[in-house]
Amino acid sequence: MVKTISVGLMVSALLAAGMQPAAAKTTPQQKCAAAKQKAAGKNISAELVCYSKAAGKAIAVDPLCLGKAQSKIDAAWTKAGTACVGDEAAILAQTDGCVGQILGAATGTGKCPAAKIKATGVKAAAKLNCTAKSAGSGKPLDPTCITKAEGKFSAAVTKADAKGVCAGTVGGLESIVDNVCFNPVAGALPPVAPGCGNGIIETGETCDDGNTKDGDSCPSNCVVQSCTATASTRTFTVSFAGGANVAAVQVLLDYPEGKIVIPGSGNDNNVLGSISNTPPGALLVSNDLDYALIQSVTSLSGLTAGPIFRVTFDDCQGATPPTPADFACTVTQASDTSFNDLTGVTCSVSAP
């Protein structure tokens, strides 16, 4: 029978708290990518301001204005550093192509084309600023930020046409910004490097939670092997050793999920029903991650070194039966009867 007294729950809660991942910190690569994305957007806007002034006055573009824009992106690129990918020359080739296509769509001279050219540059910079905020914080792209940029642009183009209709529609200019300016530039300046642990599920991965640690939603190699469960089952025993006056143990049992599987997931009834042979009166907390089991066992009267629980798995169709050597067992936290943390406590797996 499981005890539900508050002290026992306290021990279990303390153990569980130890498994919570720390808040992610912004990496140098994220900061670098954010700075470069923002700089690229400012460069597009600055160059288009130069061309907007020229269109409004029906004169040639001022080379000093363009030179100033170039100097600013040079300085910003140097300040961003080299922690992320993104060659300045390659990005400038993309931004120049962006500016060229916008000028090819918003042709003519006067107030109307001048306003559209400027507004399109502002939009490109605003959208890249949205991705820069996302890259720099590690948070998903805020759709409200994008919607705000697009709303302002549509209003600016409508206002420009009120001054005398000119070339360049909202849809046409938006298409250039998205397909020539925004997507290529943002895509060329990713905030994370390729590979397991970057938070992006890539070829060969089945999950990626942004780290290479076991014990959370995704294993350290970013691959959870698939399994078609059969009616055949097999049982393995987990034992612990070490420590004095041990009252609580939390185990991370990494099992070969391509060969065996625990029915269910998390702490549902199927998972709970797979755990057996626990110490009498112990408090149990289970969490199956589909590649590893986090199991806490707590007893106020103390735990005796040796077997503390068994797990019954379903066999995977066509898989070679596993042995204890296919498991990795780690004691992630342990405490004594006075709630003091213990070190030197280990666990092992045996059959049955």
Cβ-Cβ contacts under 8 Å for 151 (sequence gap 6 or more): none
Per-residue pLDDT at 24? 54
Model pLDDT for residues 80-110, shown as the tens digit of each residue: 999 998 999 999 999 999 999 999 999 999 9
- Co-location of 61 and 145 in the same domain: yes
- Co-location of 281 and 162 in the same domain: no
- Co-location of 138 and 247 in the same domain: no
pLDDT above 90 as % of the chain: 80
In the chain, how many domains are there? 2
In contact, 56 and 119? CB cutoff 8 Å? no
- Co-location of 57 and 176 in the same domain: yes
> Which of the listed residues 188, 212, 243 is the one where a domain comes to its end?
188
Per-residue pLDDT at 163? 84
- Co-location of 39 and 157 in the same domain: yes
147: exposed, middle or buried (C-beta count within 10 Å: 0-12, 13-18, 19+)? exposed
The mean predicted confidence, pLDDT, of the chain is 91
- Co-location of 234 and 184 in the same domain: no
Q: Is 332 within a domain? A: yes
Q: Is 214 within a domain? A: no
Residue 334 has pLDDT above 70, yes or no: yes
Per-residue pLDDT at 35? 96
Q: What's the average model confidence in pLDDT over 23-34?
A: 82
Q: Is 265 within a domain? A: yes
Cβ-Cβ contacts under 8 Å for 236 (sequence gap 6 or more): 255, 310, 311, 313, 324, 327, 349, 350, 351, 352
> Which of the listed residues 160, 188, 216 is the one where a domain comes to its end?
188
Model pLDDT for residues 220-260, shown as the tens digit of each residue: 999 999 999 999 999 999 999 999 999 999 999 999 999 99
- Co-location of 184 and 311 in the same domain: no
Give the range of the structural domain holding residue 45, as residue numbers without chain letter: 28-188
- 3-state DSSP of the chain: CCCCCHHHHHHHHHHHHCCCCCCCCCCHHHHHHHHHHHHHHHHHHHHHHHHHHHHHHCCCCCHHHHHHHHHHHHHHHHHHCCCCCCCHHHHHHHHHHHHHHHHHHCCCCCHHHHHHHHHHHHHHHHHHHHHHHHHHHCCCCCHHHHHHHHHHHHHHHHHHHCCCCCCCCHHHHHHHHHHHHHHHHHHHCCCCCCCCCCCCCCCCCCCCCCCCCCCCCCCCCCCCCCCCEEEEEEEEEEEEECCCCEEEEEEEEECCCCCEECCCCECCHHHHHHEECCCCCCEEEEEECCCEEEEEEECCCCCCCEEEEEEEEEEECCCCCCCHHHCEEEEEEEEECCCCECCCCEEEEECC
Q: What is the CATH number of the domain that holds 246?
A: 2.60.40
Q: Is 298 within a domain? A: yes
With cut-offs at 50, 70 and 90, classify the pLDDT of residue 22: very low
- Co-location of 281 and 169 in the same domain: no
Per-residue pLDDT at 106? 96
Model pLDDT for residues 166-190, shown as the tens digit of each residue: 999 999 999 999 999 999 998 889 8
Q: What's the average model confidence in pLDDT over 314-323?
A: 97
- Co-location of 144 and 278 in the same domain: no
Q: Round to whole Å and give the CA distance between 159 and 105.
A: 17
Per-residue pLDDT at 3? 37
Q: Is 288 within a domain? A: yes
